[in-house]
Amino acid sequence: MQEELRGQVDGVGPGPSPDSARYVAGLDVAYDGDELAAAIVVLDGQSLVEVDRSIVLGRTGFPYVPGLFAFREIPVLLEALGKLSVTPDLLVCDGQGLAHPRRFGLACHLGVLTGLPTIGVAKNAFVGTFLPPAAERGASSDLVLDGEVVGAVVRTQKAVKPVFVSVGHRVDLATAVAHTLHLTPKYRLPETTRAADHACRSALTS
Protein backbone atom coordinates (compact mmCIF):
# COMPACT_ATOMS: atom_id res chain seq x y z
CA MET A 1 0.00 0.00 0.00
CA GLN A 2 2.84 2.39 0.84
CA GLU A 3 4.61 1.68 -2.43
CA GLU A 4 1.42 2.38 -4.33
CA LEU A 5 0.37 5.55 -2.49
CA ARG A 6 3.80 7.17 -2.48
CA GLY A 7 3.31 8.11 -6.12
CA GLN A 8 0.67 10.58 -4.99
CA VAL A 9 3.04 12.54 -2.72
CA ASP A 10 3.71 16.14 -3.70
CA GLY A 11 7.16 16.93 -2.33
CA VAL A 12 7.52 20.15 -4.31
CA GLY A 13 4.92 22.36 -2.69
CA PRO A 14 6.27 24.86 -1.84
CA GLY A 15 3.38 25.02 0.63
CA PRO A 16 2.30 27.84 2.94
CA SER A 17 5.08 29.97 4.41
CA PRO A 18 5.16 30.43 8.21
CA ASP A 19 3.84 33.97 7.88
CA SER A 20 0.97 33.00 5.60
CA ALA A 21 -0.27 29.98 7.55
CA ARG A 22 -3.43 30.91 9.41
CA TYR A 23 -3.98 27.58 11.20
CA VAL A 24 -1.23 25.12 12.10
CA ALA A 25 -2.13 21.79 13.71
CA GLY A 26 -0.22 19.37 15.91
CA LEU A 27 -1.23 15.70 16.12
CA ASP A 28 -0.33 13.07 18.70
CA VAL A 29 -1.57 9.83 20.24
CA ALA A 30 -1.04 8.52 23.79
CA TYR A 31 -1.43 4.91 24.87
CA ASP A 32 -2.29 2.89 27.95
CA GLY A 33 -2.20 -0.73 26.92
CA ASP A 34 -4.66 -1.07 24.06
CA GLU A 35 -6.50 2.08 25.11
CA LEU A 36 -5.56 5.26 23.29
CA ALA A 37 -6.31 8.95 23.08
CA ALA A 38 -5.66 11.03 19.98
CA ALA A 39 -5.43 14.80 20.02
CA ILE A 40 -5.22 17.44 17.34
CA VAL A 41 -4.59 20.97 18.54
CA VAL A 42 -4.84 23.87 16.11
CA LEU A 43 -2.81 27.01 16.82
CA ASP A 44 -3.01 30.42 15.22
CA GLY A 45 0.03 30.45 12.95
CA GLN A 46 1.21 33.87 14.13
CA SER A 47 0.42 34.11 17.83
CA LEU A 48 0.66 30.32 18.40
CA VAL A 49 -2.46 30.64 20.54
CA GLU A 50 -4.83 27.65 20.49
CA VAL A 51 -7.92 28.13 18.34
CA ASP A 52 -9.38 24.61 18.18
CA ARG A 53 -8.89 21.07 19.40
CA SER A 54 -10.25 17.60 18.85
CA ILE A 55 -9.92 14.56 21.12
CA VAL A 56 -10.82 10.97 20.27
CA LEU A 57 -10.69 8.02 22.64
CA GLY A 58 -10.37 4.52 21.24
CA ARG A 59 -8.54 1.21 21.13
CA THR A 60 -5.43 0.04 19.34
CA GLY A 61 -6.16 -1.71 16.07
CA PHE A 62 -2.61 -2.29 14.85
CA PRO A 63 0.70 -2.98 16.67
CA TYR A 64 3.71 -0.72 16.51
CA VAL A 65 5.90 -2.05 13.70
CA PRO A 66 8.84 0.12 12.55
CA GLY A 67 8.03 1.22 9.01
CA LEU A 68 4.29 0.63 9.44
CA PHE A 69 3.73 3.18 12.18
CA ALA A 70 1.11 5.08 10.17
CA PHE A 71 -1.27 2.13 10.17
CA ARG A 72 -1.41 2.34 13.94
CA GLU A 73 -2.25 6.02 14.24
CA ILE A 74 -3.93 7.07 11.02
CA PRO A 75 -7.44 5.71 11.73
CA VAL A 76 -7.86 7.63 14.97
CA LEU A 77 -6.13 10.73 13.60
CA LEU A 78 -8.51 10.83 10.62
CA GLU A 79 -11.42 10.55 13.01
CA ALA A 80 -10.08 13.43 15.08
CA LEU A 81 -9.49 15.53 11.96
CA GLY A 82 -13.12 15.08 11.03
CA LYS A 83 -14.22 16.62 14.32
CA LEU A 84 -12.27 19.86 13.95
CA SER A 85 -14.30 22.99 13.28
CA VAL A 86 -11.52 24.61 11.23
CA THR A 87 -9.40 23.27 8.37
CA PRO A 88 -5.66 23.51 9.17
CA ASP A 89 -3.30 25.05 6.62
CA LEU A 90 -0.58 22.66 7.81
CA LEU A 91 -0.41 19.41 9.78
CA VAL A 92 2.75 18.96 11.85
CA CYS A 93 3.08 15.21 12.36
CA ASP A 94 4.91 13.46 15.19
CA GLY A 95 7.10 11.18 13.06
CA GLN A 96 8.73 10.92 9.65
CA GLY A 97 7.57 11.92 6.20
CA LEU A 98 9.85 10.99 3.29
CA ALA A 99 12.58 9.90 5.71
CA HIS A 100 11.21 6.38 5.61
CA PRO A 101 12.43 3.05 4.14
CA ARG A 102 9.83 3.33 1.34
CA ARG A 103 9.69 7.15 1.38
CA PHE A 104 6.18 7.09 2.81
CA GLY A 105 6.13 7.76 6.54
CA LEU A 106 3.16 8.94 8.62
CA ALA A 107 3.34 12.55 7.40
CA CYS A 108 3.20 11.50 3.74
CA HIS A 109 0.42 9.02 4.38
CA LEU A 110 -1.73 11.53 6.27
CA GLY A 111 -1.06 14.15 3.61
CA VAL A 112 -2.11 11.94 0.73
CA LEU A 113 -5.27 10.75 2.50
CA THR A 114 -6.39 14.25 3.52
CA GLY A 115 -4.96 16.31 0.69
CA LEU A 116 -3.65 18.76 3.30
CA PRO A 117 -0.09 20.12 3.48
CA THR A 118 1.91 18.07 6.02
CA ILE A 119 5.42 17.86 7.43
CA GLY A 120 7.06 15.33 9.72
CA VAL A 121 9.01 16.41 12.80
CA ALA A 122 10.45 13.40 14.63
CA LYS A 123 12.38 13.20 17.88
CA ASN A 124 14.64 10.47 16.55
CA ALA A 125 16.11 9.42 13.22
CA PHE A 126 14.64 6.34 11.63
CA VAL A 127 16.66 5.99 8.44
CA GLY A 128 19.56 7.84 6.85
CA THR A 129 22.95 9.19 7.86
CA PHE A 130 23.86 12.69 8.94
CA LEU A 131 26.53 14.87 10.47
CA PRO A 132 25.60 16.65 13.70
CA PRO A 133 24.50 20.23 12.93
CA ALA A 134 26.33 23.16 14.56
CA ALA A 135 25.31 23.94 18.15
CA GLU A 136 23.48 27.18 17.31
CA ARG A 137 19.72 27.31 17.04
CA GLY A 138 18.75 27.20 13.37
CA ALA A 139 21.74 25.10 12.29
CA SER A 140 20.93 22.06 10.19
CA SER A 141 22.44 19.24 8.17
CA ASP A 142 21.21 16.85 5.49
CA LEU A 143 19.61 13.53 6.33
CA VAL A 144 20.77 11.24 3.52
CA LEU A 145 19.40 7.85 2.46
CA ASP A 146 20.73 5.98 -0.57
CA GLY A 147 22.55 9.11 -1.72
CA GLU A 148 19.36 11.15 -1.57
CA VAL A 149 18.45 13.98 0.84
CA VAL A 150 15.31 12.74 2.57
CA GLY A 151 15.20 15.25 5.41
CA ALA A 152 16.97 17.80 7.58
CA VAL A 153 18.50 17.45 11.04
CA VAL A 154 17.55 20.72 12.73
CA ARG A 155 18.84 22.31 15.91
CA THR A 156 15.81 24.09 17.35
CA GLN A 157 17.56 25.23 20.54
CA LYS A 158 21.22 25.93 21.23
CA ALA A 159 23.22 22.82 22.20
CA VAL A 160 20.07 20.71 22.49
CA LYS A 161 19.46 17.42 20.64
CA PRO A 162 18.21 18.18 17.11
CA VAL A 163 14.88 17.14 15.59
CA PHE A 164 14.41 15.27 12.29
CA VAL A 165 12.36 17.16 9.74
CA SER A 166 11.07 15.70 6.48
CA VAL A 167 8.56 16.51 3.78
CA GLY A 168 5.09 15.07 4.14
CA HIS A 169 2.89 16.38 1.34
CA ARG A 170 2.55 19.63 -0.63
CA VAL A 171 5.43 21.29 1.26
CA ASP A 172 9.11 21.46 0.27
CA LEU A 173 11.92 20.71 2.72
CA ALA A 174 13.09 24.32 3.13
CA THR A 175 9.55 25.41 3.99
CA ALA A 176 9.17 22.48 6.39
CA VAL A 177 12.35 23.56 8.19
CA ALA A 178 11.14 27.19 8.29
CA HIS A 179 7.90 26.09 9.96
CA THR A 180 9.80 23.97 12.44
CA LEU A 181 11.91 26.92 13.53
CA HIS A 182 8.91 29.22 13.61
CA LEU A 183 7.15 26.78 15.95
CA THR A 184 10.10 26.36 18.32
CA PRO A 185 10.69 29.82 19.85
CA LYS A 186 11.42 28.35 23.26
CA TYR A 187 11.48 24.56 23.34
CA ARG A 188 13.04 21.72 21.37
CA LEU A 189 9.74 20.45 19.96
CA PRO A 190 7.15 22.49 18.00
CA GLU A 191 4.47 24.17 20.10
CA THR A 192 1.94 22.23 18.04
CA THR A 193 3.48 18.89 19.01
CA ARG A 194 3.76 19.94 22.66
CA ALA A 195 0.14 21.06 22.80
CA ALA A 196 -1.12 17.84 21.19
CA ASP A 197 1.09 15.72 23.45
CA HIS A 198 -0.28 17.37 26.58
CA ALA A 199 -3.84 17.15 25.29
CA CYS A 200 -3.86 13.43 24.46
CA ARG A 201 -1.97 12.57 27.62
CA SER A 202 -4.42 14.32 29.91
CA ALA A 203 -7.36 12.91 27.93
CA LEU A 204 -6.00 9.42 28.52
CA THR A 205 -5.59 10.05 32.24
CA SER A 206 -9.12 11.40 32.54
- In the window 152-181, what residues touch DNA (CB under 7 A)? none
130-137, long-range: CB within 8 Å, 24+ apart, which pairs?
132/162, 133/162, 135/159, 137/181
Closer by beta carbon to DNA, 22 or else 188: 188
Binding mask 73-112 for DNA (x = CB under 7 A): ---------------------xxx---x----xx------
- In the window 33-72, what residues touch DNA (CB under 7 A)? 64, 66-70
Kindly indicate which of the ranges 10-18, 40-48, 81-89, 122-130 contains the residues binding DNA, using the contact rule CB under 7 A. Answer: 122-130
Q: Which of 122, 145, 150, 176 touches DNA (CB under 7 A)?
A: 122
| 15 in contact with DNA (CB under 7 A) | no
Kindly indicate which of the ranges 40-48, 117-125, 129-137, 170-178 contains the residues binding DNA, using the contact rule CB under 7 A. Answer: 117-125
Annotated binding site: 28, 94
Gap between the Cα atoms of 117 and 196, Å rounded: 18
Annotated binding site for Mg(2+): 28, 94
Kindly indicate which of the ranges 27-35, 44-52, 134-142, 147-155 contains the residues binding DNA, using the contact rule CB under 7 A. Answer: 27-35
3-state secondary structure labels for all residues of the chain: CHHHHHHHCCCCCCCCCCCCCCEEEEEEEEEECCEEEEEEEEEECCCCCEEEEEEEEEECCCCCCCCCHHHHHHHHHHHHHHCCCCCCCEEEECCCCCCCCCCCCHHHHHHHHHCCCEEEEECCCCCCECCCCCCCCCCEEEEEECCEEEEEEECCCCCCCCEEEEEEECCCHHHHHHHHHHCCCCCCCCHHHHHHHHHHHHHHHC
Closer by beta carbon to DNA, 60 or else 141: 60
| 28 in contact with DNA (CB under 7 A) | yes
Closer by beta carbon to DNA, 51 or else 120: 120
**Number of residues counted as binding DNA (CB under 7 A):** 26
| 5 in contact with DNA (CB under 7 A) | no
The sign of the torsion formed by the CA atoms of 101, 132, 195, 201 equals positive
| 32 in contact with DNA (CB under 7 A) | yes
Binding site residues, DNA, CB under 7 A? 28-32, 64, 66-70, 94-96, 100, 105-106, 120, 122-126, 197, 201, 204
